[in-house]
Amino acid sequence: MSANPTISDNPLLQGSGLPPFPNITPQQVVPAFKVLLAELDLELSTLEANVLPTWSSLVEPRDRLTERLNWSWGLVNHLMGVKNSPELRQAYETVQPQVVQFFNKLGQSQPIYNAFKALQASDSWKTLDSAQQRIVEAAIRDASLAGVGLQGEARDRFNAIQMELADLSTKFSNHVLDATKAFSLTLTTKEEIYGLPPSLLSLAAQAARAAGEESATPENGPWRITLDLPSFSPFMQHSTRRDLREKLYKAFITRASSGELDNNPLIERILELRQELTELLGFKTYAELSLASKMAKSVQAVESLLEELRLASYDAAVKELAELKTFAAEANDLQHWDITFWAERQREEKFAFTAEELRPYFPLRQVLDGLFGLVKRLFGVTVTPADGQAPVWHEDVRYFQIADETGTPVAYFYLDPYSRPAEKRGGAWMDTCINRGKITENGVTFTRLPVAYLVCNQTPPVDGKPSLMTFYEVETLFHEFGHGLQHMLTKVDYPEAAGINNVEWDAVELPSQFMENWCYDRPTLLGMAKHYETGEPLPEHYYQKLVVAKNYMSGSSILRQIHISILDLELHYRYRPGGGETPQDVRDRITKTTTVLPPLPEDKFLCVFGHIFSGGYAAGYYSYKWAEVLSADAFGAFEEAGLEDEQAIKATGKRYRDTVLALGGSLHPMEVFKSFRGREPSTVPLLKHNGLAA
């Protein structure tokens, strides 16, 4: 960079290609967006003045415009998730209102909306292929949901609501990150670490060193336990100190529910604004507005699926809790902070292995080899390291290439595997870096290859050992890679329908949940599970136990998902802000039929429910279960073909790749599913896989 960097040096204005991460600083965000939004504003006015109802004069220029904005804004959003800092937050909060304003302006453009309507009504409509038609239909629908039909005061109010909601959602997410970061438990005596596995002691000593205890060691401490999942979960599973489990559990369930980081007022305000927005658009409830762009036809359809699964899992969960109480020493007084601990002891006794015993068999590198071997076996594609070919945002980030049968590259992805509680938000996700598309530049047309971000929060390498994964972390990696495959193996050349774009939200989890099933597939599991020191493969008895233990407490875990899904739906369907009931009251009411051990009074789960208050899942959390019906049924096709029959697996894998993974948003998900499975989905495979049906 020159000594006096001009705006043209601003990497956030690059607008296409791989982001130059090492050159990006939070200080560049505000100046970049000042320039970018002014340019886009001008482009939008020019487009509106000259728009014609044809694909090349309407859809293509509009797409070029949104792609530039999505490239720069997507990059800032990505960094907010993986490299959060006070400086970046401030820049983000300065720019966000202007970005929301521009999206509103584009979504509400009358000339563009009218041109889409004219294109749909024109003779040339029949010449468009199904993907193009679906893109146009989605644009018309999205414009009406973006308030294109509103005038005057109603439109101003709608835009003000959108702006406030965006701000609240960012605040909500920051509060959760800060509250999770704010609490830690420092242990100094041997009595306080009874039961804790060596892997956690190493991690906790590393956390203590990072916090300034330079001489901390796994053997002698001090040990720092945090609310970050790689620390919190194993502590709750293994600590014999009931008092410390209680302390940690209570800190976990009360995050972001008091003081400066209190999300309660934000929740009430978000729900209030969503209801007002809904009524402006002519809907009765936010749930109906949300479903207008989803696969499920109605709230009733969603509720009947959830009720079917609730009935199937409730009795099983009651029975599981009763068995656990009989087993636990605290039988008469089993509390929430005892559940994970005793469940782990019961699992060890029932299946004669511990979750920790398996860790040494799952070093990240081998798990990746196993995952890549599986996608080659199923879909014929080869994944190879491409480190050094792309700038990265952190030294632990890897870069990979995916090539087809002929060795031609078809996609790339970044992998950011480890937890970094100071700057990275929790959870795991796949995000779009670059969309596939046919691009013409200087008279030359070429296919731009898709690039994905895969982000996990697994146990980092500690004390010279590689990242040794829990089986749950293995499943999470497979899950996110499934999302990645849909983004990367798409064959659609229009960016607006390539990969996960224009796929109904409640079908998006199909490819991710589908991949999780393969963690229990014998060749896949035994192919990757090798001891990191000796190279010895996972003993057969462990494989058998894992399969048997797969459905341990499955009634309880399904019921938990149903609890959350119904809670989300209820808040956006029956709850009325200011109607005398608080969001917490709604949860208390829902727990009566969806939990077997009611949450503690101080449990403020809603305050960290980022999926619906700072993610895209509002009135859509049911999508996990909706899509799991599809994914279990899709995996059923491989079971029917015969998991031992390599030819059949290849053929079924090719069909899956050519439909579910290739077609993206070019067809309705039900059509995509039927083209793969030959029929509509059934709930039977899901209940079977969870051991809840014969």
* Token digits of residue 284: 């009765």
Beta pairing partners, 458: 418
Both tokens assigned to 454: 């895969």
Cβ atoms 488, 452 nearer than 8 A: yes
Reading the block at residue 158, the tokens are 């709608």
Distance CA 131, CA 164 (A): 34
Question: What's CA 492's distance to the chain center, in Å?
Answer: 23
Q: What is the CA radius of gyration of the chain?
A: 25
**Numbers of helices and strands, H then E, in the chain:** 26, 9
Q: Which residue has the tokens 């960290």?
A: 608
Q: How many CB atoms lie within 10 A of CB 163?
A: 17
What is the 3-state secondary structure of 160-214?
Answer: HHHHHHHHHHHHHHHHHHHHHHHCEEEECCHHHHCCCCHHHHHHHHHHHHHCCCC
Residue 476's nearest CA partner among 317, 364, 344, 399 is 364
CA distance 393 to 19: 9
Neighbouring residues of 5: CB distance < 8 A, sequence distance ≥ 6: none
The two structure tokens encoding residue 516: 């999780």
Q: How far apart are alpha carbons 292 and 313 in whole angstroms? A: 29
Tokens 């068999």 found at: 361
Q: Comparing C-alpha atoms, which of 497, 418, 347, 427 is closest to residue 180? A: 427
Token pair 């229990």 is found at 520
Pairing assessment for the beta strands 382-385 and 223-226 based on DSSP bridges: unpaired
- Identify the three-state secondary structure at position 456: strand
User: Which of these is catalytic: 303, 356, 473, 480?
Assistant: 480
The verdict on whether 39 is a catalytic residue reads no
Helix ranges (H only) for 380-530 are 471-488, 510-516, 522-528
**Using N-to-C axis directions, what is the helix angle for 29-50 and 86-107, rounded to 10°?**
10
Residues 6+ apart with CB under 8 A from 433: 18, 19, 74, 78, 414, 451, 452, 453
- The Cα–Cα gap between 499 and 436 comes to 8
DSSP 658: I
Token digits for 504? 């109904």
* Residue 416 zone, left/alpha/beta (φ > 0; ψ -120 to 50; rest): beta
HEC assignment per residue over 291-307:
HCCCCCCCHHHHHHHHH
CA angle 174, 178, 180 (to 5 degrees): 120
CB 543 within 8 A of CB 593: no
CA angle centred on 481, ends 478 and 486, rounded to 5°: 130
From residue 623, alpha-carbon distances to 134, 509, 671 in Å are 21, 7, 18
The beta-strand segments (E) located in 253-397 are 382-385
**Are 202 and 157 within 8 A, CB to CB?**
no
Q: Which residues are catalytic?
A: 480
